[in-house]
Structure 1
Amino acid sequence: MRTALTLLFLLALGAMPGALLPQRSLNARKVDEYIAGNGWWGRFLDDLQFYDVYASYWFSAIYVLLFVSLVGCLLPRTWEYFKQMRARPVLTPRNLARMPHHASAEVGTTPDDVVANAERRLRGWRRVTGEEADGTRTVSAERGYLRETGNLVFHFALLGLLVAFALGKMFGYEGQVIVQADGGQFCNSGVYNYDTFRPGLRVDGSGLTPFCVKVDDFSASYLHNGQAESFLADIGYQSGADLDSGTWRPYPLRVNSPLRTAGDRVYLLGHGYTPVFTVTFPNGQTRTGAIQWRPVDPVTLASEGATKFDPPDVPDAEERRRSQLAITGLLAPTAAYRGELLDSAFPAANDPAVAIDVYRGDLGTDSGRGQSIFSLDQKMIEDGKLKRVARQNLGQGEQLTLDDGTTVRFEGVRDWVSLQVSHDPAQNWVLVFSVLVILGLGVSLSIKRRRVWVRATPLGDGRTLIEVGGLARTDQAGYGEEFGGLSRDLLAHKEGS
């Protein structure tokens, strides 16, 4: 047990870097920034797998050793408990006056009557009676064996809980995705459908359980200070046979009220806004862009992002790259102006407006490098390949005109929701073992092992000396009162009582 406690302490100590340092499974960019900012020390921590703590060899070694230690501790205890359950209670000691609890009295009844009364009073106790050569009768009783049962249940459940957690981390996964709340759909058909995806150690993303979610509408209510009061996404979902029949089943998705389907859980994490821009090019053709912008203020939901356009009907690739457009800036759901500076006063879309910069040139989307949907490639701006051609505040329905006659119109905003899909095949076992941990701990703390002995010695004049002794096998707190009640009942035949 000392070894198990030491390993449990080491496991908690080993988990500290996972809480204090950025982890690759959560944010690889933060890890790269931390390593770059800390030089050799950052690289040294990387060599020790401090940025992948829970998948590191040393953390896994502590975990496995803790399992081995717990099993090595529990098996002998279980066998010992099994032998104790089959054994008879300890025989009555000769000198009961040396017990922590003791009472005696002379009564005018026979030892047989005393033993019969003791057996009635000790019904439910494990007991054994005996008789000595001089006619003395004894009763040995013990109670509280369920304490060790609860203790073993607690430790085995703790072991099972650790195993369930490990299996969940190995075969579970978690992914997040943004879906437009105007009928936008998401299908759990592959990792490429997610914005971020964190697989378990044994998950390669090829065996995801198929299901689809469609977000039909979204509504939110806020307090007067802008604090969110409730989020509700009206969604439809398909799983199993519904995928073949095309049946959509409605579900009101709320925060902390996930949709459970196909063995996965779908959570509503939050929401934001998608500005809708319509660009009319000089040739009269139009393009409408609706790409989500990310909130930069969690209170007012002021958002930033970039909406990008390719010019229509430009066959020459070089000319097309020089004519790409991007709209970037700030979106305010409820506009509040400080002079010419746009800010957001409330998170609801009461009076949406945008403060935008319009860029024309090569966006770098054809370079083969990955690019964030929320920002522009700063290298293209620094190289002069992407230039700002306009800056203006626009309210809903307003537009601006560029130097070549292109117009940019702000149509308004749409809602988007952030969904999280979690898959944990061991979650039911985690629940079962968690309940058993609590029950086992409750039983082991509430029940006490205690023993009581009764000796009835004939005095030769028709009287009998009754001695009662008690011993608490664990904590003695509370046993004095119980022993007092037992001794009064067992000595109830005392004359004059």
Structure 2
Amino acid sequence: MSSPDERPVGRGELTARELVRWTWRQVTSMRTALVLLLLLALAAIPGSVVPQAGVDAIAVTRWKDEHPDLTPIYEKLDLFSVYDSIWFSAIYLLLVLSLVGCIVPRLFVYARAFRAQPPPAPRNLSRLPDHSSYETALPADEVLARARAVLGKRYRLRKAEDASAGGDAVSAERGYLREAGNLLFHLSVLIVLAGFAIGGLFGYQGGVILVQGSTFGNNLTQYDDFDPGGLFTPEQLDEFDFTVEDFDVEWVESGAGAGTARGFRAGLSYREGDAREQEYNLRVNHPLSINDTDVFLIGHGYAPVITIRDGEGNIASTGPTPFLPQDQSFVSFGVVKTAAAEPGQIGLEGLLYPTFYLYDGDPASVFPDARNPLVSMLVYTGDLGLDTGESQSIYVLDKSNATQVTDEDGKPFRVDLSVGETVKLPDGLGSVTLEGVKPWVRVQISQTPGKEVALLGVVLALIGLCGSLYVRPRRVWVRARTVAAGDAGDTMAGRTTTVVEVAGLDRSGNGDLAEVLADLVADLKKAAPQDEGDLP
């Protein structure tokens, strides 16, 4: 008896158990999986259009500076880290759940189909599109035995049955590898998902900009940006270091493609642990592999070497500062700032022109290679926020409490420097010197522990897909029945003959089944006695 507090289920209503079952069927349907796959593709679009913090933190900083109004909205929607956002993870997990719930039951269906026996012969074989028949003097048992021997070489046979269970026919089928291909393909999808899950949980990806001549040691403090997996531990970091010895770009000098890069090469010297130093030419799509870690070359630019002297003549800062390319001509934006200058902090903000040319009074770069570099920068002094203890981007100059340096006419003072030139700053603030220009490279360092598993899944998927597309499933039946040869007044009265019916069904629709049946009939007729031959 039901409890008095339990409300009876009305007509057309679902119980809690039925509701859960219905929900599960909806989530694990192929239609839902396709919708979620479409949603995942749409959700990945912002990750391809908007710079991602885990891929290029520098590009994210530049984008925020260029779009201050949209930045709060994008941050609230996690558009700078799309693949780590809650909404993207929800779609991805639902898709995985839907695929698993959709694929696992099909694995059992394909497994049963792969082991299944051929179906029994239809009652009327002559109704099939491809069929043939003939008469022979051989007993029906011998015809069926011959049929089993011929078909058994290339077909799977149904177990022999007695006459009461329809044992007057032989059932054969081939093309079971098609079901094996379907089984393998669906299983490979789960393997690929597992590979991606392993990589996402245990892997990591980081990036760093290195000026020519600088050294990188593989520890967390050396990375400019670092995106670890959910189960990543610092112990996974392989022990190695490398130095960027040189960097070469092969430029197209003439023609329609003049100014485009044909090839990149970064000469590295690296050491694994305490092993001896080795050399490697790092190129695009040719990463340096050290144990489980891969080092990729993904970008390059220029770093002007600028020396700032304060009003007392002391060196406040010196060294290369990476500038960020703004266009294909590699006109680059950068910031140089120093807190050690006296009497006040000094900041520079401006552009680097790799091959400077004054075109109609406007500065431009006519070639991306650093053949005639020039920096053009505005000067700021005062409080640049360098003493607050808060972290700052090296590509952002805090000018909220600073004063822009002007010339005698009250116009913004601009520092225009070629290599080797020095400009004195107004009001005894000091001087700025461009010592030279060095190339920098951006490298991506990552571990993807599940990539072999994912690759195995892709290979298995291709094999399974080929099997399901190119294997031709086919069913063939041979029935032999003993009938009277003629009437009582006929000369053959009292004798019997065997009527042999052969039919087939091509499940792939290739249209060559008639030839197959003709060859089978020819093989079966070879068993007839030579002296009697086939009956008319």
Alignment-derived partner of residue 271 in structure 2: 238
Mapping of residues 90-105 of structure 1, within 5 Å: 90-105=119-134
Structure-2 separation of matches of 1:426 and 1:471: 44
Please, which moves more after superposition, 3-12 or 425-434?
A: 3-12
Unaligned stretches of 5+ in structure 2?
1-24, 408-412, 486-494, 526-532
Alignment-derived partner of residue 148 in structure 1: 179
Structure-2 separation of matches of 1:347 and 1:32: 24
Structure 1 counterpart SS, 2:271 = strand
Alpha-carbon displacement from aligned partner over 1:133-189 (angstroms, at most 9, x marks no partner): 8x995321111111111111111110121122122222222111100112x111221
Structure-2 separation of matches of 1:380 and 1:35: 19
Alignment check: 8 A CA contact 2:148 2:157 kept = no
CA apart distance, 1:218: 0.3
**Alignment partner for residue 411 of structure 1, among 385, 410, 435?**
435
- Is the aligned partner of 1:288 residue 2:322? no
CA apart distance, 1:60: 4.6
Structure 1 counterpart SS, 2:518 = helix
Please, which moves more after superposition, 445-454 or 405-414?
A: 405-414
Structure 2 counterpart SS, 1:491 = helix
Mapping of residues 424-435 of structure 1, within 5 Å: 424-435=448-459
Q: What is the one-letter code of the residue matched to 1:234?
A: G
Alpha-carbon displacement from aligned partner over 1:402-448 (angstroms, at most 9, x marks no partner): 34383422222101001111221111111111111111111112123
Alignment-derived partner of residue 119 in structure 1: 149
CA apart distance, 1:457: 3.2
Alpha-carbon displacement from aligned partner over 1:462-481 (angstroms, at most 9, x marks no partner): 75432111123x43x10x30
Alpha-carbon displacement from aligned partner over 1:35-62 (angstroms, at most 9, x marks no partner): 96499xx59x948x78766445565555
Please, which moves more after superposition, 151-160 or 451-460?
A: 451-460
Alignment check: 8 A CA contact 1:17 1:50 kept = no
Structure 2 counterpart SS, 1:8 = helix
Alignment-derived partner of residue 303 in structure 1: 332
- Is the aligned partner of 1:398 residue 2:427? no
Structure-1 separation of matches of 2:462 and 2:271: 37
Q: 1:237 to 1:462 in 2, by over 3 A?
A: farther
Mapping of residues 351-390 of structure 1, within 5 Å: 351-381=372-402, 384=403, 387-388=405-406, 390=413
Alignment-derived partner of residue 198 in structure 2: 167
Q: 1:46 to 1:33 in 2, by over 3 A?
A: farther
Please, which moves more after superposition, 165-174 or 2-11?
A: 2-11
Alpha-carbon displacement from aligned partner over 1:228-250 (angstroms, at most 9, x marks no partner): 110100012223xxx234x3221
Alignment check: 8 A CA contact 2:422 2:433 kept = yes
Structure-2 separation of matches of 1:449 and 1:107: 30
Alignment-derived partner of residue 488 in structure 1: 518
Alignment check: 8 A CA contact 1:18 1:52 kept = no
Alignment check: 8 A CA contact 1:10 1:62 kept = no
CA apart distance, 1:357: 2.6
Structure-2 separation of matches of 1:327 and 1:74: 60
Structure-2 separation of matches of 1:267 and 1:273: 19
Mapping of residues 49-88 of structure 1, within 5 Å: 54-55=83-84, 60=89, 63-88=92-117
Q: What is the one-letter code of the residue matched to 1:125?
A: Y
Please, which moves more after superposition, 96-105 or 228-237?
A: 96-105
Alignment-derived partner of residue 315 in structure 1: none
- Is the aligned partner of 1:214 residue 2:238? no
Structure-1 separation of matches of 2:386 and 2:101: 59
CA apart distance, 1:303: 0.8
Structure 2 counterpart SS, 1:378 = coil
Structure-1 separation of matches of 2:109 and 2:82: 38
**Alignment partner for residue 194 of structure 1, among 203, 223, 227?**
223
Q: How many residues align?
A: 470
CA apart distance, 1:485: 1.9
**Alignment partner for residue 185 of structure 1, among 197, 215, 219?**
215
Alpha-carbon displacement from aligned partner over 1:359-397 (angstroms, at most 9, x marks no partner): 34333211223322223212133xx3x535642432222
The root-mean-square deviation of aligned C-alpha atoms, in Å, is 3.5
Percentage of matched positions with identical amino acids = 36
Please, which moves more after superposition, 116-125 or 413-422?
A: 116-125
CA apart distance, 1:99: 2.2
Structure-2 separation of matches of 1:380 and 1:174: 37
Q: 1:11 to 1:34 in 2, by over 3 A?
A: farther
Q: What is the one-letter code of the residue matched to 1:177?
A: V
Please, which moves more after superposition, 65-74 or 398-407?
A: 65-74
Please, which moves more after superposition, 401-410 or 434-443?
A: 401-410
**Alignment partner for residue 467 of structure 1, among 484, 498, 501?**
501
Alignment check: 8 A CA contact 1:210 1:262 kept = no
Alignment-derived partner of residue 316 in structure 1: none
Q: What is the one-letter code of the residue matched to 2:395?
A: F
Q: 1:50 to 1:399 in 2, by over 3 A?
A: closer
Structure-2 separation of matches of 1:98 and 1:366: 93
Structure 1 counterpart SS, 2:401 = helix
Structure 1 counterpart SS, 2:400 = helix
Please, which moves more after superposition, 257-266 or 54-63?
A: 54-63
**Alignment partner for residue 342 of structure 1, among 348, 360, 363?**
363
Alpha-carbon displacement from aligned partner over 1:321-372 (angstroms, at most 9, x marks no partner): x433333322111111125532111111111122233334333211223322
Alignment-derived partner of residue 454 in structure 1: 478
CA apart distance, 1:222: 1.2
Alignment check: 8 A CA contact 1:115 1:456 kept = no
Alignment-derived partner of residue 8 in structure 2: none
Q: What is the one-letter code of the residue matched to 1:400?
A: V
Q: What is the one-letter code of the residue matched to 1:142?
A: E
Alignment-derived partner of residue 462 in structure 2: 438
Structure-2 separation of matches of 1:196 and 1:81: 46
CA apart distance, 1:102: 1.3
**Alignment partner for residue 266 of structure 1, among 290, 295, 314?**
295
Please, which moves more after superposition, 139-148 or 21-30?
A: 21-30
Alpha-carbon displacement from aligned partner over 1:244-295 (angstroms, at most 9, x marks no partner): 34x3221110011111113121110111111112345565544533111111
Alignment check: 8 A CA contact 1:110 1:463 kept = yes
